[in-house]
Structure formats: structure tokens, C-alpha cells
């Protein structure tokens, strides 16, 4: 993962635009993500899920015969 130069900022002008009522939930989500991504078990499960599920065909995948 690449960390932003300043939390919530991406480049010179970027950032997050959220309704103020969502800010506490987003802060809670960020704290949970930062804690989880440091756990080896989480990283192992994430790697497994990405390996086994990402890019798989979906019901919307064109499957010509």
C-alpha cells in the first residue's frame, strides 16, 4: 500500500469529500483498516481471496460458444 503524503490528501489538490455526518463512520473504518492490515492473518486471507476470487467470471461475463 502507498500512504498519502498527508492523511486524506492525494496530491496537491485531492482529498475526500464526504457529508459531515459520515466523517465519524469513515474515521472508524480507517482505524479498523489500519489495525487489520497490520495483522499477518488478515494479509494471508486477503491474498487468498484475491488469488481465488478476483477476476473470476461473473454472470455478466460474456461466454461465447
pLDDT, tens digit, 9 for 90 and up, residues 27-39: 999 999 999 999 9
pLDDT tops 80 at residue 43: yes
**Maximum Cα–Cα distance for the chain, whole Å?**
51
Indicate the number of domains in the chain.
1
Look up the pTM and report it. 0.54
Three-state secondary structure readout of the chain: CCCCCCCCCCCCCCCCCCCHHHHHHHHHHHHHHHHHHCCHHHHHHHHHHHHHHCCCCCCCCCCCC
Q: Which domain holds residue 35?
A: 9-53
> Distance between CA 1 and CA 18 in Å, rounded?
23
Residue 60 belongs to some domain of the structure: no
The residue to which cell 492473518 is assigned? 41
> Do the domain assignments include residue 1?
no
Distance CA 7, CA 4 (A): 6
Residue 19 lies in a domain: yes
Amino acid at each position: 500500500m502507498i500512504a498519502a503524503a498527508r492523511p486524506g490528501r492525494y496530491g496537491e489538490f485531492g482529498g475526500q469529500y464526504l457529508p459531515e455526518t459520515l466523517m465519524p463512520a469513515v474515521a472508524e473504518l480507517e482505524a479498523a483498516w489500519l489495525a487489520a492490515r497490520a495483522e499477518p492473518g488478515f494479509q494471508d486471507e486477503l491474498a487468498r481471496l484475491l488469488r481465488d476470487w478476483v477476476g473470476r467470471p461473473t454472470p455478466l461475463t460474456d461466454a461465447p460458444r
